[in-house]
Each structure stands twice: as structure tokens, then as C-alpha cells.
């Protein structure tokens, strides 16, 4: 995720890490925090309606951003480095995740139990990834196909999207676990890129987006992300969340921007630490709202993910796992509110 977004800036932009869009990092920070929170099954199953709502937009937002920042102007060597920086972590950590769940002691509660069989392992790794790593799998396929199609001479941007959509639809037909709705969100982000508008104007940030979003939730059964209502609710929620950047205090902006800059690390390491937080549930059962469990677990998971990333950097593993010398991104000294957006008349 971080690799797909951070290293996919167009050639005329500053080098990754030297110039960033603060609202995008802020939005990623909120989305990644929600991902961790609602993968805590003891909490999410207690707040089912909220969980269904969050699942409409939190990963869909990441997919849209990945499609928007997919840079097809890179040289083959540059793209290969970016692509391997997603593929290698996927292969390594999906394998470890599978082995952990397949051999997990019965005394440790887990929402997923995988069959400890050789054929099941390869099926999971190559066709139907388990856990949050499906997102990296999606990026590996979508980015690879989109880039290869972009190398075809004399194809206009709309034609590139059409050919990419056709190929990915065929992949989805052959492999039902590769969901076409996720491809659609990726292509939506790529389409936004072809308009030439900045990503923030594509989201059209406004706090008023909360009004129709609330109306959708009240007037209709909570939509899934694979329907038109789900798409509308996703875009409205993202528009609202982006706009909150302008009104949040500096401490809040710094926190979520910091987490957003390290979102790939959190995606990769969070499944292990989320699993380790499960024994906290009976300890904190005195809180019937389960808020104490959620706050403590999210804090521990995020801190552990960031610590693991720093350790990988210190041990020199990042250049082999992520094809970067440093994966950890320190918090900025300050995060100032961006200038108000203006829209063409």
C-alpha cells in the first residue's frame, strides 16, 4: 500500500517522501486505524452495524488511492522495484500468516482456522489469500496488468483502462476470490487520475457529505461495497474524512498523518499483533462496552507495527523485504492545515 502510493508519484512531482499531500496521509491514517480496530473480532462483532458501515469504505478508500497514484510512466526497472516491494512482503507474510493460523493452539481464539495441508497452502498463497493480505495480492495483480497494458503503443488513457478492465475481469472470472468489485475501485482511482484533477478535488472534501451519508444509512439497508449505494456511501464518507483535516487540532493531524505514512507497515505486521491481543478480551471483560479493549489493543498493535518496522530497518531487512533502505517514516515536526481548495467554475 505505502509502496504503491508513496513511490507512484508522477515524474514531474517531487521524489517520494520529499513532497506529500498532507490530507492523503491523514486520510490513510484514519483508514488504517479503522482497519486495525475492526479486525478485533471481540469488538467488531459487538458493534455489527458500525462494522458493516466501516467495511463499506475503509479498504475501498485505500484501493481508490492506489489506483489514482499508480504511475505507469515509470521505467520498467523502476516499476519492477515498486512491484517487488509489494510482491515479496505479500509472499513472505501471507505464508507466515497461513502457517500461524494452520498450527495455532486451540487455546488461542481465532476467527480463521486454516487447513495445515500443502495443497491448501499453495491455493491460499496463489489464489485466495487469507487475512488483510488480500489487499497486497490485489495490488500485485492490478498494478502489474495496468502497467503492462500502458506499455502498449498508441493506446489512449481511456483505452488503457478498458483493456485493463477486460483483462482483470477475465482474471476475476477464472479466480472468484479475486473480486471484481475491488478491481472496480482500483479502476475508479485510475480514472480519476486521467481527469487531470488533484486527488482531493476528486473526493470533493466537505463536511456536508455527512448529511447524505447519514440519509443513506437511515433510509436504506446498510449497503455493501459491491453496489451503487455502497459506492456513494464510500465516496461521501471519504469526502467528509478528508475535510476534517482542516478542522482537526495539530496533535490529531500529526497522529493520523504519521500513521498514514506508515500504513504499509501496519497492514503487514498488524495481523500477528492483532492475534496476540485476543487474550486481552477476558481480562478486560469488566467493560461491557468493550471500549477499553479496543483502545488498548489498537494502541498496542499500532505501536508494535511501528516498532517492528524500525527493527527491520535497523537490521537491514527492509532492503530485502520491501526493496527500500528505510521503511519507517518518522512523524513530522508539524502538520499545518493545507490551503483551502478552489474548484474550477
Check residue 344 and give its pLDDT. Answer: 36
Burial of 33 (0-12, 13-18, 19+ CB in 10 A): buried
Residue with cell 469526502: 239
pTM of the predicted model as reported, rounded to 2 decimal places: 0.87
- C-alpha 66/C-alpha 296 separation (Å) is 30
Grid coordinates of 321: 523485504
DSSP state of 185: H
Per-residue pLDDT, 117: 66
Per-residue confidence (pLDDT) for residue 258, from 0 to 100: 95
Q: CA-to-CA distance for 32 and 265, rounded, in angstroms?
A: 10
Q: Is 341 exposed, middle or buried (0-12, 13-18, 19+ CB in 10 A)?
A: middle
**Consecutive 10-residue averages of pLDDT for the chain (345 residues):** 43 44 94 95 91 91 94 92 94 88 58 64 85 92 96 92 96 92 95 91 92 89 79 94 93 95 94 88 92 96 96 93 91 54 37
Predicted pLDDT of residue 122: 85
| Contacts for 191 with CB less than 8 Å, ≥ 6 apart | 67, 161
Amino acid at each position: 500500500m505505502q509502496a504503491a502510493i508513496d513511490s507512484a508519484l508522477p515524474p514531474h512531482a517531487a521524489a517520494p517522501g520529499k513532497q506529500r499531500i498532507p490530507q492523503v496521509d491523514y486520510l490513510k491514517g484514519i483508514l488504517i486505524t479503522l482497519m486495525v480496530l475492526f479486525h478485533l473480532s471481540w469488538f467488531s462483532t459487538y458493534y455489527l452495524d458500525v462494522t458493516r458501515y466501516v467495511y463499506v469504505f475503509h479498504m475501498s478508500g485505500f484501493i481508490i488511492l492506489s489506483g489514482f497514484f499508480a504511475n505507469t510512466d515509470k521505467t520498467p526497472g523502476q516499476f519492477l522495484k515498486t512491484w517487488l516491494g509489494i510482491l515479496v512482503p505479500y509472499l513472505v507474510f501471507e505464508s507466515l500468516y497461513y502457517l500461524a493460523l494452520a498450527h495455532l493452539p486451540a487455546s488461542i481464539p481465532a476467527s480463521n482456522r486454516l487447513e495445515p495441508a500443502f495443497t491448501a497452502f499453495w491455493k491460499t498463497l496463489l489464489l485466495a489469500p487469507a487475512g488483510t493480505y488480500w489487499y497486497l495480492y490485489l495490488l500485485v495483480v492490478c498494478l502489474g496488468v495496468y502497467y503492462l497494458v500502458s506499455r502498449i503503443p498508441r493506446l489512449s488513457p481511456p483505452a488503457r483502462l478498458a483493456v485493463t478492465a477486460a483483462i482483470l475481469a477475465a482474471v476475476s472470472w477464472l479466480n472468484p476470490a479475486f473480486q471484481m468489485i475491488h478491481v472496480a475501485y482500483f479502476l475508479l482511482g485510475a480514472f480519476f487520475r486521467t481527469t487531470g484533477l488533484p486527488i482531493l478535488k476528486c473526493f470533493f472534501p466537505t463536511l456536508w457529505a455527512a448529511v447524505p451519508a447519514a440519509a443513506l444509512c437511515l433510509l436504506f439497508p446498510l449497503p455493501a461495497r459491491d453496489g451503487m449505494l455502497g459506492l456513494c456511501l464510500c465516496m461521501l464518507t471519504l469526502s467528509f474524512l478528508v475535510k476534517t483535516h482542516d478542522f482537526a487540532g495539530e496533535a490529531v493531524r500529526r497522529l493520523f498523518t504519521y500513521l498514514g505514512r506508515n500504513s504499509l507497515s501496519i497492514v503487514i505486521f498488524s495481523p500477528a499483533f492483532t492475534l496476540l491481543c485476543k487474550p486481552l478480551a477476558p481480562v478486560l471483560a469488566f467493560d461491557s462496552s468493550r471500549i477499553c479493549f479496543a483502545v488498548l489493543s489498537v494502541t498496542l498493535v499500532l505501536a508494535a507495527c511501528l516498532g517492528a518496522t524500525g527493527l527491520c530497518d535497523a537490521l537491514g531487512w527492509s532492503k530485502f523485504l520491501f526493496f527500500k533502505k528505510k521503511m519507517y517514516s518518522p512523524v513530522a515536526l508539524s502538520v499545518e492545515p493545507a490551503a483551502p481548495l478552489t474548484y474550477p467554475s
